[in-house]
Structure 1
Amino acid sequence: MSSHGLVGVPDAGAFLARLVRLDPGAPVRLKTSGGRVALWARLPWDVLVTREVAGDGPRDATVAARELLDVLARGGDELPPLRDAQWRWPLPTPGGETVESVSGAELSRLAAAAAGTLREVTATGLSGRSVGQRAVRDALLDHVALVVTPPPGGRPVEVSQRLVQAISRMGFLGPGDTEGPSTRVRVSGRWVGLSAPYGVAWLQAVQKLTVMPIVDHPKG
């Protein structure tokens, strides 16, 4: 039987516990390199989150997050049954660059403001009209929370509320009553990421397609 190889059990447990609360059936991918295990997962709103912990686990394996959490909770060291077929998402390309730093307090404020708007609109409606919670939630998640302007010559980087909610809901910003290190806004290819003190969230930019009419097509 294979071992999960996780040494940083408290850190891994914190990641898995929050993940399971957001998505009880979520798979988690473990990738080991240089004495560190990167835990990867996808949140229900299409954001990839990752946290590195100490350990020497499987080179690349996907298991059920809840099953791995149960193993850690009882002090076991076995790797749960593999579920590699459940992982269907690409990972950001290694490397990338940091384009700006944002304070944890500012990101916490943005996350709290969005949560407050969701509660208010769900309870009272929008301009007197009733609006479903899911419609409001999706609109808020698609909102651009902040725009980072790189040095001269660089293109502005849009940071979606999806990323802000990811690092907030996963606890990556750390304790709310302390001002920790700043969070870095990172870019890697078509991926935009928020690298917070306790984990990283990544969102792949949607490629905008232009639909052009076919001129003189035989079928019109």
Structure 2
Amino acid sequence: MAERGLTVADAGERDDLAQFVGRAVRLDPDGIVRLRARSDGQVGAWASTGFDVIAARVVRGELVPADTTVNSADLLTALAVQRADSVDPGFPVDASWRSALPPEDGFVHVDDVPASVLAELSEQGVALAKEHAGPQGPPASLLDSVVLTVHGGGHEVAVPLRCVFALSGMGFVGERGDELVRVRATGGWLRLDARWGSVLRRRHPQIPLLIG
């Protein structure tokens, strides 16, 4: 592998990653993707969505360097245009990723929610967003509104509308009526696992690091 590159040997997984990044670009054209080699020999991809929610995907591959952040559009171009086993993911913009990544494991299963319920909540949210949208889009108070609360595994988890929007906008929920979305959590993170992918958000505001 070159000094800088992402290698995904399986064509199906490359196409899957390209679709994932393409959806992220549609939601956040100026967004970024963080790529990181995992301890299990796979590569994790975390994409901004424009909703202050992270979308996640994992593929079998190799990454050099082992942790890098690139512009979503550049990564999409590399995957969709070059269509090679190994590509340059784009110019590094590591300083643009200003938060910690969610952990690879340690999530507790809280509950399962029918995908149809989340689809309905998304439709209702879109209607409200159109009604209350301003020059900068929907108000943060609307996006932060809790639309679902689930209990289980020792956790009570509030799911805000912004997570439902991100899940729907990324196309992660399929059309099968019996489909379920799994709600998982750690002390610090909320995770929604759907058929086609996951979205994650911090459960509590991140405390800034003050250096004096």
* In structure 1, distance between residues paired with 2:128 and 2:201: 23
Paired letter, 1:91: L
In structure 2, what is the equivalent of residue 28 of structure 1? 33
Q: Which moved more, 1:98-107 or 1:78-87?
A: 78-87
* In structure 2, distance between residues paired with 1:180 and 1:35: 33
How many residues of Structure 1 are paired with residues of Structure 2 in the alignment?
196
Q: Which moved more, 1:26-35 or 1:94-103?
A: 26-35
Paired letter, 2:150: V
* In structure 1, distance between residues paired with 2:140 and 2:35: 29
Larger radius of gyration: 1
Paired letter, 1:86: S
Q: TM-score if structure 2 supplies the norm length?
A: 0.82
Paired letter, 2:141: A
In structure 1, what is the equivalent of residue 162 of structure 2? 162
Q: CA deviation at 1:155?
A: 4.5
* In structure 2, distance between residues paired with 1:135 and 1:38: 30
Which of 56, 60, 63 is the aligned partner of 1:57? 63
- Describe the superposition over 1:8-50 as per-residue Cα deviations: whole angstroms up to 9, x where unpaired: 1111111111111122221211122334221102222211111
Q: CA deviation at 1:180?
A: 6.0
Structure 1 SS opposite 2:152: coil
> Structure 1, unaligned stretches of length 5 or more?
123-130, 210-220
Q: How does 1:1-220 map to 2 (within 5 A)?
A: 1=2, 2-6=4-8, 7=10, 8-33=13-38, 34-58=40-64, 59-74=66-81, 75-76=83-84, 77-79=86-88, 80-93=90-103, 94-119=105-130, 121-122=131-132, 132=134, 134=136, 136-150=138-152, 154-174=154-174, 176=175, 178-179=176-177, 181-207=179-205
Distance change >3 Å, CA 208–CA 57, structure 1 → 2: closer
* In structure 2, distance between residues paired with 1:14 and 1:208: 30
* In structure 1, distance between residues paired with 2:98 and 2:155: 30
* In structure 2, distance between residues paired with 1:190 and 1:116: 30
- Describe the superposition over 1:74-109 as per-residue Cα deviations: whole angstroms up to 9, x where unpaired: 214322222222221111233120110011111111
Distance change >3 Å, CA 73–CA 49, structure 1 → 2: same
* In structure 2, distance between residues paired with 1:171 and 1:71: 22
> Structure 2, unaligned stretches of length 5 or more?
208-212
- Describe the superposition over 1:118-174 as per-residue Cα deviations: whole angstroms up to 9, x where unpaired: 23x25xxxxxxxx736474423211101011226xx342111111111111011113
Distance change >3 Å, CA 135–CA 39, structure 1 → 2: closer
In structure 2, what is the equivalent of residue 215 of structure 1? none
- The answer (yes or no) to whether the contact 1:35–1:55 under 8 Å persists in 2 is yes
- The alignment yields a C-alpha RMSD, in angstroms, of 2.3
Q: Which has the higher strand share?
A: 2
* In structure 2, distance between residues paired with 1:141 and 1:208: 18
Q: TM-score if structure 1 supplies the norm length?
A: 0.79
Q: CA deviation at 1:186?
A: 0.8
- The answer (yes or no) to whether the contact 1:118–1:133 under 8 Å persists in 2 is no
- The answer (yes or no) to whether the contact 1:52–1:199 under 8 Å persists in 2 is no
* In structure 1, distance between residues paired with 2:170 and 2:26: 10
Paired letter, 1:45: F
- The answer (yes or no) to whether the contact 2:34–2:45 under 8 Å persists in 1 is yes
